[in-house]
Amino acid sequence: DSGVTQTPKHLITATGQRVTLRCSPRSGDLSVYWYQQSLDQGLQFLIQYYNGEERAKGNILERFSAQQFPDLHSELNLSSLELGDSALYFCASSPSGKGGPGEKLFFGSGTQLSVL
Amino acid sequence: DAKTTQPNSMESNEEEPVHLPCNHSTISGTDYIHWYRQLPSQGPEYVIHGLTSNVNNRMASLAIAEDRKSSTLILHRATLRDAAVYYCILRDRAGGTSYGKLTFGQGTILTVHP
């Protein structure tokens, strides 16, 4: 158990809909990261938040947005969903997010999103 | 981020050692070498990291070439539970603009036979 909690574990929805994925980081971790994993693209970094502020951005679509709340949990919002958005979405957390050499990322078990 | 190259897949027998190679010929002096693995239906998990010297922990050993252009993750006695995708990742010591994020490649799919 990594200590990172993601809900829901599975989500089935239709094209054009909007969903929200939730992540609770490990106790004390200030940084949250979101990743998307699909069969053809592998693990792709989407976005990082540190203590409530956006820190780094990756290949995140404009239809996707995220935020980190004062209690440090994070939500990833996916809107106008398309079939190609079907994927596993992982959240990870780390103590500081400054990328020090030994800083580890701890990943949750993911949310499997299926867009039908 | 500097690029790493790993074999697509490797196979091993249970209780035998496994050597997973990684090439990183464009590694910079400030890059640390990190290994993560992803078990089936789980998120990635940290395995080990190092800079120049060989490293050991309870999960594995990391052997780093003297010129740092390659490294090898060593599982001393593979178990069925070690079947996973293994990712070799370079991370800048200073963090820089990449901050804490990790950039994953395709990794090596390790199959362990009973």
Model confidence over A82-99: pLDDT tens digits?
999 999 999 999 987 676
Model confidence over B29-47: pLDDT tens digits?
888 999 999 999 999 999 9
A61/A76 Cα distance (integer angstroms): 12
B112/B114 Cα distance (integer angstroms): 7
The pLDDT of residue B29 = 85
| Strands of the sheet with B9-13, listed across from one edge | B9-13, B108-113, B84-92, B31-38, B45-50
Strand partners, A38: A42
Choose, out of B47, B99, B104, the residue to mutate when testing the contact with A (most A CBs < 10 Å). B99
**B95–A contact, CB cutoff 8 A:** yes
Strand partners, A107: A92
Model confidence over A9-19: pLDDT tens digits?
999 999 999 99
Residues 6+ apart with CB under 8 A from A115: A13, A14, A15, A17, A81, A82, A83, A84, A85, A86
| A-proximal residues of B, 12-71, CB under 8 Å | 32, 36, 38, 41-46, 49, 51
From B12's Cα to the closest Cα of chain A, the distance in A is 24
Per-residue pLDDT of chain B (114 residues; tens, 9 = 90+): 568 999 999 999 999 999 999 999 999 888 899 999 999 999 999 999 999 989 999 999 999 999 999 999 999 999 999 999 999 998 876 655 556 788 899 999 999 999
Choose, out of A36, A91, A107, the residue to mutate when testing the contact with B (most B CBs < 10 Å). A107
CB contact under 8 A, B43 and A90: yes
**B76–A contact, CB cutoff 8 A:** no
Contact B49, B34 (CB under 8 A): yes
CB contact under 8 A, A43 and B94: no
